[in-house]
Amino acid sequence: MEQALVIAAHGSHLNAESSTPTFSHADTIRATSAFGEVRESFWKEEPHFREALRTVDAEDVYLVPLFVSEGYFTEQVIPREFRLKEWDPELWDSDGTSADTATLTAEDTGQTVHYCGPVGTHDSMSDVIVQRAKSVTDDPDVGDGFGLAVVGHGTERNENSAKAIEYHADRIAERDRFDEVQALFMDEDPEVDDVTDFFESEDVVVVPLFIADGYHTQEDIPEDMGLCEDYRDGWAVPETVDDKRVWYAGAVGTEPLMADVVLERAAEAGADVSAAIEQVRGDAGETSAAGD
């Protein structure tokens, strides 16, 4: 039976670029021909979550949220808007970073939907963060002499938001690739404003765990870190702040390897995509196996 992939992303009423990474990762996956259909869907744009499934012909759909953390959107909004009957967050049995998959039926279309955890809490996301550091420094061996800051929104609305950041920071720290790894936040301590205080290293790569570039990653965080007085002035990469070189990567979600995380999610839900995973990892310059 043909399998289809639907990617669920936030989108924006105001920012035209919010959907760009979603389109880009969907195109990467389309090019692998792993799915008969690949469909983007959005909370704030069209096709809307409510109407995405009816545009997909396949009876068997893998639904992957392009969201950073588990919580309000993945546990309430997406299942409700996709009309996934009998959804219960307990089906993921997650501690906040360990969502896997649940198989449900869409009320309006009758399709079988394999509802996957978000990309942000998948183990292979750690690889994407490292890949982002390689991309921004243009150094495939980056690590020695470098600190890495993984930046998240914080706990203002959702405690799992911080969990996802800390989870990946811990995982990357265990690899001993970077001299130092630190989780930082916009809305709580340790705050990204004081980024240079948290590192001994002269070079610090800063990777925000956001899906798309927008207000937070292109205005707020650069100004808060002191990369610039006004975001409109731009900043250098690296930019010198307090005698340290800060390599600001922008949203991790724009990294091409993100398409791999979407595929990993679908694979764990039972999709036959192993060849596509090989292809995407190869094309994105990453060869290690998923989640190490």
Partner 1 sequence: MNADPVDALVATAPDGIAFDDLHVERNGETYAYETPAESLTGLEEPELRDVAAASPYVSNWYFWHATAPQTDARWAFLRWLEGADDPVPQRYDALAEGIATEWGQLRVTVSLTEAGGRSYALRHVDDAATAGADLTDHDEPLDARELAKHDNDGAYRPLKTAPSLQTGWQFPALGPAELVEAVHAFYPATVQNWHREREGDLDVTHWHETVERQTGIYGVVRTWDRGEGYEHVNWVAEACCDDSQCLKRREWGYDEETDLDVDNRASETPGDSGGETARGGDGEFPRREPCSPFIAAARQWTKLEGEQSQAYEFELTPSEKEQVEAIIGAVAEGRSADIREADVYDGANRYRTRFLRAKLFDDDGNLCGVETED
Q: Under the rule (CB under 8 A), what is the footprint of partner 1?
A: 12-16, 19, 23, 27, 43-48, 50-52, 54-55, 57, 72, 76-77, 80, 108
Nearer to partner 1, 44 or 177 (CB): 44
Nearer to partner 1, 124 or 218 (CB): 218
- The CA distance from 86 to 72, in Å, is 17
Q: What's the closest the beta carbon of residue 33 comes to partner 1, in angstroms?
A: 15
Residue 190's nearest CA partner among 240, 149, 246 is 149
Which strands, in side-by-side order, build the sheet including 84-85?
37-42, 3-9, 60-65, 112-116, 101-106, 84-85
Rounded alpha-carbon distances, angstroms, from residue 233 to 194, 219, 220, 226, 240? 21, 10, 13, 12, 15
Q: What's the closest the beta carbon of residue 74 comes to partner 1, in angstroms?
A: 13
Q: What's the closest the beta carbon of residue 30 comes to partner 1, in angstroms?
A: 8
Q: What's the closest the beta carbon of residue 42 comes to partner 1, in angstroms?
A: 8
Nearer to partner 1, 47 or 89 (CB): 47
Nearer to partner 1, 56 or 207 (CB): 56
Q: φ, ψ for residue 244 (rounded to 5)?
A: -115, 155
Give the gyration radius of the chain's Cα atoms.
19
Contacts of 264 (CB under 8 A, 6+ apart): 122, 124, 277, 290, 291
Q: What's the closest the beta carbon of residue 15 comes to partner 1, in angstroms?
A: 7
In sequence order, what DSSP letters do the residues of 96-114 get, joined into one string?
Answer: SS---EEEEEETTT--EEE
Nearer to partner 1, 59 or 268 (CB): 59
Angle at CA of residue 122, ends 218 and 169, nearest 5°? 60
Gap between the terminal Cα atoms of the chain: 31
Nearer to partner 1, 54 or 175 (CB): 54
Q: What's the closest the beta carbon of residue 200 comes to partner 1, in angstroms?
A: 41
Nearer to partner 1, 107 or 144 (CB): 107
Contact 162, 155 (CB under 8 A): yes
Q: What's the closest the beta carbon of residue 36 comes to partner 1, in angstroms?
A: 11
